[in-house]
Structure 1
Amino acid sequence: MKDLMPASESEYTDADFQRVRQIAREQAGIHLPTTKKALVYSRVSRRVRERGQGSFHAYLDFVTSSAGEGEMQNLIFALTTNVTSFFREKNHFDHLESVVIPHLAPQVRAGRRGRVWSAACSTGQEPWSIAMSVMTAFPDAVSHDFRILATDINANVVAQATEGAYNAEEVEAIPAGRKSQFMEPSDDGDYRFAGPIRRLPAFRVLNLNASWPIQGFFSAIFCRNVVIYFDDATRERLWQRLADKLEPGGFLYVGHSERVSCASACGLIQVAPTIYRKDH
Structure 2
Amino acid sequence: MRRRSGEAPRFLVDGMLARLARWLRAAGFDAQYADGTEPRAQAAQAMREGRIVVTRNRRFPKGPGARQIVLESKTLERQMVELLRHFPHLNPLASPFSRCTGCNEPVAPSEPPNPAPPGIEGPFTRCPRCGRYYWRGSHYDRMHAKLVHVARALEESREREAAGEPPPIKREDFDEFLREALILLGLSWRGYRRVRWGFRTRLRNRLRELGLLRLHDYMLLVRSDPSERERLGALLAVTISRFFRDRGFWFRFADDLFPALERVASGGPVRVWSLGCASGEEPYTLRIMWRESGRAEEDLSVLATDLRTVCLERARRRLYPESAVHNVPAELRSRYLHERRGTFLLDEEIARGVQFERFDWRSETGWPVGDFHWVLARNGIFTYDDESGALAKLERIEDALVPGGYLWIGGNERLPDAARARWTKVAPSLYRK
TM score, norm. by length of structure 2: 0.54
> AA paired with 1:87?
F
Alpha-carbon distance between aligned partners in 2 of 1:262 and 1:106, rounded to the nearest angstrom: 29
Q: Is the 8 A contact 2:264 2:404 kept in 1?
A: no
Cα distance in 2 for partners of 1:196, 1:171 equals 18
Query: Once the two structures are aligned, what percentage of the paired residues are identical?
Result: 25
Deviates more, 1:3-12 or 1:190-199: 3-12
Distance 2:232 2:180 in 1: 12
Equivalent residues of 2:338, 2:346 under 8 A apart = yes
Retained in 2: the 8 A contact 1:117–1:150? yes
Q: 1:124 aligns with which of 275, 280, 295?
A: 280
- The whole-number CA distance in structure 1 between the counterparts of 2:335 and 2:175 is 53
> Unpaired runs of 5+ in structure 2?
1-161
Q: 1:96 to 1:158 in 2, by over 3 A?
A: farther
Residue 119 of structure 1 deviates from its aligned partner by: 0.7
Could you say which structure has the greater relative contact order, defined with CA pairs below 8 angstroms and 6 or more residues apart?
1
- The equivalent of 1:85 in structure 2 is 242
CA distance, structure 2, for counterparts of residue 41 and residue 88 of structure 1: 26
CA distance in 2, matches of 1:16, 1:235: 22
Alignment of 1:49 with 2:205, yes or no, is: no
Q: Decide whether aligned partners of structure 1 residues 24 and 202 sit closer, same or farther in structure 2, where only a CA change above 3 A counts.
A: same
- What is the correspondence of 1:1-280 to structure 2 with a 5 Å cutoff? 2-6=163-167, 8-9=169-170, 12=173, 16-17=177-178, 20-25=181-186, 30-32=187-189, 39=197, 41=200, 43-62=202-221, 69=227, 72-94=229-251, 97-104=254-261, 112-141=268-297, 144=298, 146-186=300-340, 188-209=341-362, 210-226=364-380, 227-260=382-415, 261-266=417-422, 268-278=423-433
User: Match of 2:185, SS?
Assistant: helix
> Could you say if the C-alpha distance between residues 51 and 145 of structure 1 is closer, same or farther in structure 2, counting changes exceeding 3 Å?
farther
Instruction: Judge which range, 13-22 or 163-172, deviates more.
Output: 13-22
**How far 1:202 sits from its partner (Å)?**
1.2
Residue 178 of structure 1, CA deviation: 1.6
Distance 1:258 1:22 in 2: 20
Change in Cα spacing, 1:201 to 1:14, as seen in structure 2 (3 Å) is: closer
Contact 2:373 2:401 in 1 (8 A): yes
The 1:16–1:159 alpha-carbon spacing in structure 2 relative to 1, beyond 3 Å, is same
Question: Once the two structures are superposed, what CA deviation does each residue of 1:87-121 show, in whole Å capped at 9, x if it has no partner?
Answer: 111243235631232344589795x2321111111
- Distance in 1 (alpha carbons) for counterparts of 2:390 and 2:367: 20
Q: 1:183 to 1:10 in 2, by over 3 A?
A: closer
| Residues 16 and 178 of structure 1: CA distance in aligned 2, closer, same or farther (over 3 Å) | closer
For residues 212 and 344 of structure 2, the distance between their equivalents in structure 1, rounded to whole angstroms, comes to 39
How much does 1:249 deviate?
A: 2.3
Gaps of 5+ in 1: none
Q: Compared with structure 1, are the counterparts of its residues 42 and 198 closer, same or farther at alpha carbon in structure 2 (3 Å cutoff)?
A: closer
- The total of aligned residue pairs comes to 267
Rounded Cα–Cα distance in structure 1 between residues aligned with 2:264 and 2:388: 37
In structure 1, C-alpha distance between the alignment counterparts of 2:342 and 2:193, rounded to whole Å: 38
Cα separation, partners in 2 of 1:51 and 1:162, compared to 1, 3 Å: farther
Q: Output the CA distance in 2 between the equivalents of 1:236 and 1:63.
A: 25
* 1:1-31 CA distance string (max 9 Å, x none): 6411246428948885565335433xxxx23
Contact map agreement 1:113 1:146 (CA 8 A) in 2: yes
- CA RMSD in angstroms, aligned pairs only: 3.3
Which letter does structure 2 place at the counterpart of 1:202? Q
- Normalised by the length of structure 1, the TM-score is 0.79
